[in-house]
Structure 1
Amino acid sequence: MENFDNKIVWITGASSGLGKALAAEFALQGAQIVLSARRFDELENVRVGLLNPEKHVSIAMDITDESQVLHAYEQVLAEKGRIDLLINNAGLSQRALISETSMLTERAIMEVDYFSQVFLTKTVLPTFLKQKTGRIVFVSSVAGLLGTQYRASYSAAKAAIHLWANSLRAEVANDGVNVSVIFPGFVKTNVSINALNGEGKAQGFDNEATANGLEAGDFAKRAVKALANGEEFIVIGGKKEKMGVMMSRVSPSTLYKMIRKMKVK
């Protein structure tokens, strides 16, 4: 198992939800965390609550702003000198039918969930190649493996980053750089509350599936353990999500029939 003691772990979307939970778990494992999100004050609230807060640093950036990303990257190297794990966690979900979703909303979701992660990874990749070590992690979604109603754009973006990560893994296989993709199912976070409706506005309320999902801390423990084991394809969810992933491989036609009958909003 990989030891994360004093490893430099850069986590995007670290001010809440899965990112905050991952930061807490990595800190418990002795890692030095670089927390990134748009709001510095919120990052600092997370940082001071971590184990050994003096070891960690908050670097604010908007992941859709390439100039901010480049500046943040320079700050990380100036502060820590290296990066051992990059956790591409920042994301944006959706709760709208295709017929109700504007092209502006389609592009906004793809920008956050795909293009921004591609740009950040391409920015950091030279450091990993120079070090000849490190792991790049993408937080995708079970929705990116299945595709369901009200999440078409989100599912497409999460599927896209998964396949991009597969290509990256193949390209750097002999360079000491590892690539993992995590596929969460329903986890108790604000993801549904912040999900975009067809007009591109936050939905503003939770749904039953998310409210009854895994605790974020439980998700983080499973994710960090899987990464320590060197796993590359990591599905974390309840029985229904895992069954859906299995059916997508064994009998896609059966899965599609099941999805048609689901009430997933």
Structure 2
Amino acid sequence: MVFKNKVIWITGASSGIGKSLALHLSNLDCKLILSSRREAALNEVRDLCARPEHIAVLPLDLAEYHSMKPIAERAISLFGTIDMLINNGGISQRSLIIDTDISVDKKLMEVDYLGTVALTKALLPHFISNQSGHFVTVTSLMGKFGSPYRSGYCGAKHALHGFFDVLRMEHEKDQIKVTMICPGFVNTNIARNALTGEGNAQNQQDEATEKGLDVNVFTKHMITAIKKEKLEAYIGQGETKGVYLKRFFPRLLHKVVMRSRVR
């Protein structure tokens, strides 16, 4: 994938991985559409980017998944087309199953799964019409294997893999690409914003997240994976080995995760 002269739409662009993507991609002669709930923060990100005149801001809330069709139409109208959608928006969780109200599981599915799926389906006809397009979806290593305190988050991320694997198969004939990006621990605010069992933000950093990859290092690896049109990319440190342990030695992975005491 060559980024020059492409129009790229990024969700979750107001902070963390999304913000870092915007800053890096803005140097690659492409046009960007930045989305998240916080318009003021999006404007701040735009102003930090190279060539802000080639960057549009389009607020959206993934939880409002029934309203994605008009938002997609608005996004297309901004530059006349869209070449890539980077599904990066979402929320995490830090709570035991027994302590998690079902409303929290519902919110995780609405934001992390249904919102992403609805936005993707709203843009899909445009990609089919163009016989071109690239969906890049940021899931997690938790979409490949599980870890305590993340049950609802893991469920939503696993679901994304099922959906996008099928989308890739059904629309290969339309020249549509799908790349799944699976981060390990990345030093962002994802843990601070993670939901507790009552549905409130955790408001504190995890030790593992604090020690995770620098977000700029992660972003460079992610951009490389997109360029190579990889089907899946596992980006992190030692935790990425969990994907292979899950596939070949699932009982060993269980023991490793239980010993890690990661929160």
User: Quick check: TM above 0.5?
Assistant: yes
Provide structure 1 residue ranges, at least 5 long, that are not aligned to the other structure: none
1:161 aligns with 2:160: yes
For 2:206 and 2:107, locate their aligned partners in 1 and report how far apart those are by CA, in whole Å: 22
For 1:121 and 1:129, locate their aligned partners in 2 and report how far apart those are by CA, in whole Å: 12
TM-score, length of structure 2 as denominator length: 0.97
Q: How far off is 1:163 after superposition?
A: 1.3
For 1:204 and 1:212, locate their aligned partners in 2 and report how far apart those are by CA, in whole Å: 17
Counting aligned pairs with the same residue, the percent is 39
Q: Is the 8 A contact 2:62 2:110 kept in 1?
A: no
Structure 2 letter corresponding to 1:72: I
For 2:42 and 2:71, locate their aligned partners in 1 and report how far apart those are by CA, in whole Å: 14
What SS class does the counterpart of residue 174 from structure 1 fall into? helix
For 2:105 and 2:63, locate their aligned partners in 1 and report how far apart those are by CA, in whole Å: 15
For 2:2 and 2:257, locate their aligned partners in 1 and report how far apart those are by CA, in whole Å: 40
1:32 aligns with 2:31: yes
Q: Is the 8 A contact 1:138 1:162 kept in 2?
A: no
Structure 1 letter corresponding to 2:241: M
TM-score, length of structure 1 as denominator length: 0.97
Which residue of 225, 246, 249 maps to 2:247? 249
What SS class does the counterpart of residue 127 from structure 1 fall into? helix
Say what the alpha-carbon RMSD is for the aligned residues: 1.0
Structure 2 letter corresponding to 1:253: R
For 1:54 and 1:202, locate their aligned partners in 2 and report how far apart those are by CA, in whole Å: 34
Q: Is the 8 A contact 2:63 2:107 kept in 1?
A: no
Q: Is the 8 A contact 1:94 1:151 kept in 2?
A: yes
Aligned length: 263
Matches within 5 A, 1:205-224: 205-224=204-223
Provide structure 2 residue ranges, at least 5 long, that are not aligned to the other structure: none
For 1:246 and 1:92, locate their aligned partners in 2 and report how far apart those are by CA, in whole Å: 25
Aligned to 2:21: 22
What SS class does the counterpart of residue 42 from structure 2 fall into? helix
Q: Single out whichever of 245-254 and 45-54 deviates more from structure 2.
A: 245-254
Aligned to 1:148: 147
TM superposition outliers: structure 1 runs of 4+ over 4 Å: none
Change in CA separation of 1:67 and 1:164 when aligned onto 2, cut-off 3 Å: closer
For 1:57 and 1:69, locate their aligned partners in 2 and report how far apart those are by CA, in whole Å: 17
Q: Single out whichever of 190-199 and 57-66 deviates more from structure 2.
A: 57-66
For 2:239 and 2:81, locate their aligned partners in 1 and report how far apart those are by CA, in whole Å: 36
